[in-house]
Structure 1
Amino acid sequence: MAFSRDPLDELVVPDGTEAQERDLVTDGDVLVGGRATIGFGVRGRNVLAGESAEFGGAIEADGDCRLDMWCDVAENVLVGQDAYIGERVHIGGRLKVAGDLDIGDDVEIEEGFEANGWIVIRNPMPTIVFLFVYLKHLLLIGEDDAAQRLISEIVDEDDDDDEPDAEPLVIPRNATVGDDAWRVSTPATIGDDCRLHGNVRAETIDVGADCNVFGSLRARGDVTVGEGTRIHGDVTTRDGDVVVERDARVLGDVSCADFELGPDAEVDGTIRADGEITMRTTERERE
């Protein structure tokens, strides 16, 4: 996994991510920026959340979980390895840690906690904030190799197995993610084979192949809908272009500058384009 800039400057939904009834489920790590609001619970490998992040459900981490100060989790926090809980964190359910627990001052856990390893109660440094500030500094001064090593340590890329690591789910600072809407002030990239609920609002939006998005897409800039993807809502841009790739379908209206429709793609509603409309054809149709 390589970053050329601050990893929290973009919403990244990796391949295969699903918004289930109550949880946002992914195979890889979950990185949540400070003051983000997640209406779901989250399930992933390692879960790292910045200061004042809020979760509307439970957290289930197969690996480590690190919650910086003033985070709020509505339900249980279940951790397969070690946990770091910053000061003034609130957990509405039970905290259960299979490994070591490092816990700060004034932490409220409504249903108690248990850990199989060492328990250290102290006033720890907000490491998530420190790590990302340090990472941003390294990138600004051009130390890309050092930044890559830091990211590798954060997301534990040096696993013993030979399987490639899954890309992390990244939710930017101040984002709002829930059943109704995914609102970010950054670009948004959604991978292949994802199933999401809610309207997506972002600077630009790139949706991969074979996804189902049960909501509309709205961006200031360009929007791309990948092959075989279904968008159950409108696709709108303020200043950008829209591309709907081969065999994709938009079950709503499209409004944009230039519009490009791939072979066998469909738009069920009205197309409003201030610029050009391009319809790509298959090789057979051109013959």
Structure 2
Amino acid sequence: MTREETPLGLTRRARKINRILAEFYPYAVPELDFENAFELLVATVLSAQTTDVRVNEVTPVLFARYPDAHALADARVEDVENIIRPTGFFRAKTASILGLSAALVERHGGEVPARLKDLVLLPGVGRKTANVVLHGAFGVPGITVDTHFGRLARRLGFTDLEDPVKVEHAVAALFPRKDWSVLSQNLVFHGRRICHARRPACGICPIAALCPSRGIGEMDPVAAAALGKYELAPGREELREHMLAGKTRRELRAMGYALNA
């Protein structure tokens, strides 16, 4: 909240920002490739401290060999480490995905639970990962506070809090529950493409007029455009239709759409 802004004013500004970002990023969807809840859960754990692009390069091999929790729970540690090595921190990640797979088998018959309280008890799964899975696999609204979301929430004046759980609750209070997941995707997309950590591209930002941090980055439109990483390619309305029709990200890439920054 800015110094002279009322709580009502903050709520209205925050919701307007989300509407503008939704129009600017009509293709904003989770950028991890997955076919089911198990694949999304594992891919989200692997995405820590690396890019979704890198994760998407290794998961086809991983899931071809270990298609479900039962198979992955019985995998050899060395074999899994060799597959996911490119994602970094591969030993810790291997321990997490083998552990969560074993827990799924033991506690849930190999199925991914659709409740937050069950997901966060799995090895390597916190609230962020749980909310990603709940929304992406089960359609349950949730706010996913990663580094991009937290950075933008503070820059936009939604909150000045640092703790991810406190940020989640503070921002959630500004929006209807049905908007939580879309908001998360919009802020993450914007953080990756324009509102970068070190040098935001303020000169091409569609919400600059509503941002109390406007001017901390590059204001010159030409210079800012060189910093931006966003898609405004022809055919984005067709892309939206394909997504609404249920096309997977792998299918969309095969059709020629570039979905990752």
Question: Greater RCO between the two (CA within 8 Å, min separation 6)?
Answer: 2
TM-score w.r.t. the length of structure 2 is 0.26
Question: Highest CA radius of gyration, 1 or 2?
Answer: 1
Higher fraction of helix: 2
TM-score w.r.t. the length of structure 1 is 0.24
Higher fraction of strand: 1
